[in-house]
Amino acid sequence: MRYISTRGQAPILNFSHTLLTGLAEDGGLYIPETWPHLSHNDLRELRKLDYSELAAKIIGLFTGDDIPAPILLDLCKQSYANFNHKAIVPLVQLEHNLFVQELFHGPTLAFKDMAMQLLGRLFDYVLSQREEHITIVGATSGDTGSAAIEAFKDSKYLTVTILHPYGRTSEVQRRQMTTVLSPNINNIAIKGSFDDCQDLVKSMFADMPFRKEMHLSAINSINWGRIAAQIPYYIYAALCLGAPDREISFTVPTGNFGNILAAWTAKKIGLPIRFLGVASNHNDILTRFLLNNDMSIQEVKPSLSPSMDIQISSNFERLLFELLDRDAAQCCQIMQNFRKDGKMNIPEQSWTKATQNFKGMSLNNEETKKAITKIFKDSLYLADPHTAIGIITAQKYLEKDVPMVTVATAHPAKFPDAIKQATGILPPLPLAMADLYERKENYQILPADLQAIENSVRTVAYQNNF
């Protein structure tokens, strides 16, 4: 399996190399050169597999020869062994044809664990084979950071610096990151928004001497390894609900467009998906795009669902590349103009294609609170703010004859204040995390200044035998 950049100017890489590289050197994102395909018969065969086995099969389509199949299976089993639910990704029914698939039973209580637990092990495997050391830098709006820190905290082969927007994550989210005191973990709170954090990470990658010196690598959802690890649960849910002999739709609470891109990929490789619902908060660039081809950047406003407080959805570039029939030059042009003008100019024909596959909806904070209350009243289900937006979006587009699954991206206990206000119930933290508020924290607060961040990244790397 080979990977090409959406901007057409970076070297073609195999899976391991793509995994370690993250963002392509030309600023683009890596994507498989050709899509693997599963026939309906292939899909039926997968019904007998449990989640870890299914994950190894699906992810194996993307790793090619780089990771031997028995090793990949073993890594998948280890990754999902420390989840708190035996089904790993259980389905819960809310009403006729409407289901929630809970992706939050991992160690940090958000769906990011689904990919990150495996990514940590894949990195260690590949780096140990190559006897290499690398430096990981990442930006988080809350959940990626903690999932990465949890997955990479004991690695001998790498250090991790995570930037989070100061004061804009929930306290649980912050503490999950800052209370991990391993020497290879570096937490920085940036005085700015998530987009500022993401821009700083991009700038570090664009600083070629620094990138080369530090052997920089990314674990943001621009990393194809993460997308690959998010495909299996869509297939698993679909098989449980009758696919491939029946169509299915999904709704995904969306920020950086990674999770929903994985759903779209599942369709691309053969899963019969009718359409995908894109759920957003008042940072509604994707909804505006789907409604009237208006992809224009507005200021990021903090919301009750901080992991979706994003205006620039990085992974959208992969979809754009496909919508443009893989015209890398045009993709590059559109993305460069987008950064310059703050507005994306997408050909009418490509936009129409997008609207056939995706339907969007956004809820503001008031509507989100009402949604949490209503879902609890109607189905006795405690949905975190992200998931609640997903469920309301799913209801809007629900069809009588097609099952609809909303992925639940975070455990309600990650957002206790919003849940308490909306339902009167304070969702307890799972046992393993009960002392989170007593643990010691360690992080620095820095301005959104590239030089200061690079110095910090370098210092921590060299302190860890880089």
Ligand X SMILES: *Cc1c(COP(=O)(O)O)cnc(C)c1O
Q: How far is the CB of 417 from ligand X (least distance, A)?
A: 15
Instruction: Give the span between the Cα atoms of 281 and 365, in whole angstroms.
Output: 7
Q: Is 410 in the site for ligand X (CB under 6 A)?
A: yes
Non-local (6+) Cβ contacts of 184 within 8 A are 152, 153, 154, 155, 158, 159, 160, 460, 464
With binding defined as CB under 6 A, does residue 101 bind ligand X?
no
The 135-154 site mask, x for binding ligand X (CB under 6 A), equals: --------x-----------
Taking the least distance from each CB to ligand X, the nearer of 157 and 415 is 415
Based on the residue annotation, tell me whether 112 is a catalytic residue of this protein: yes
Least separation in angstroms between CB 260 and ligand X: 6
> Contacts with ligand X in 216-235 (CB under 6 A)?
221
Contact status: 256 vs ligand X (CB under 6 A): yes
Task: Decide if residue 19 touches ligand X (CB under 6 A).
Answer: no
Instruction: Please give the full DSSP string across 241-286, using - where no structure is assigned.
Output: TTTTSS-EEEEEE-SSSHHHHHHHHHHHTT--EEEEEEEE-S--HH
Name the DSSP class of 34: S
| Candidate segments 4-12, 46-54, 207-215, 249-257, binder of ligand X by CB under 6 A | 249-257
Work out how close the CB of 389 gets to ligand X at its nearest, in angstroms, rounded to a whole number: 9
Is residue 110 a contact point for ligand X (CB under 6 A)? yes
- Determine the straight-line distance between the first and last CA of the chain, rounded to whole angstroms: 30
The H-or-E segment that residue 98 falls in is strand 98-102
State the catalytic residue, choosing from 57, 112, 202, 359: 112
Q: How far apart are CA 294 and CA 273, in angstroms?
A: 25
Tokens of 87: 């089904």
Judged by DSSP in three states, 82 sits in: coil
Given 218, 386, 391, 405, the residue binding ligand X (CB under 6 A): 386
Site string for ligand X, 258-277 (x = CB under 6 A): xxx-----------------
Edge to edge, what strands does the sheet with 216-218 contain?
Answer: 216-218, 134-139, 158-165, 185-191, 444-447
Identity of the amino acid at 203: S
Among 253, 270, 277, 416, binds ligand X (CB under 6 A): 253
Helix H, strand E, coil C: the string for 118-149 is HHHHHHHHHHHHHCCCEEEEEECCCHHHHHHH
User: Site map for ligand X, 314-353, x if CB under 6 A?
Assistant: ----------------------------------------
Q: Which of 18, 409, 423, 464 binds ligand X (CB under 6 A)?
A: 409
Our CB check for ligand X shows the closer of 397 and 466 to be: 397
Residue span binding ligand X (CB under 6 A) among the ranges 66-74, 177-185, 252-260, 453-461: 252-260
Does 112 help bind ligand X (rule: CB under 6 A)?
yes
Candidates 24-32, 130-138, 164-172, 254-262: pick the segment binding ligand X (CB under 6 A).
254-262
Instruction: Output 148 or 214, the one with its CB closest to ligand X.
Output: 148
State the sign of the Cα–Cα–Cα–Cα dihedral 175, 178, 184, 188: positive
Do the Cβ atoms of 21 and 211 come closer than 8 Å?
A: no
Q: Tell me the Ramachandran region of residue 109: left when phi exceeds 0, alpha when psi lies from -120 to 50, beta otherwise.
A: left
The reply on whether position 198 binds ligand X by CB under 6 A is: no
With CB under 6 A as the contact rule, the residue among 308, 320, 382, 394 that binds ligand X is 308
Q: Which residues are catalytic?
A: 112
**Footprint of ligand X on this chain (CB under 6 A)?**
110, 112, 143, 221, 253-260, 307-308, 386, 409-410
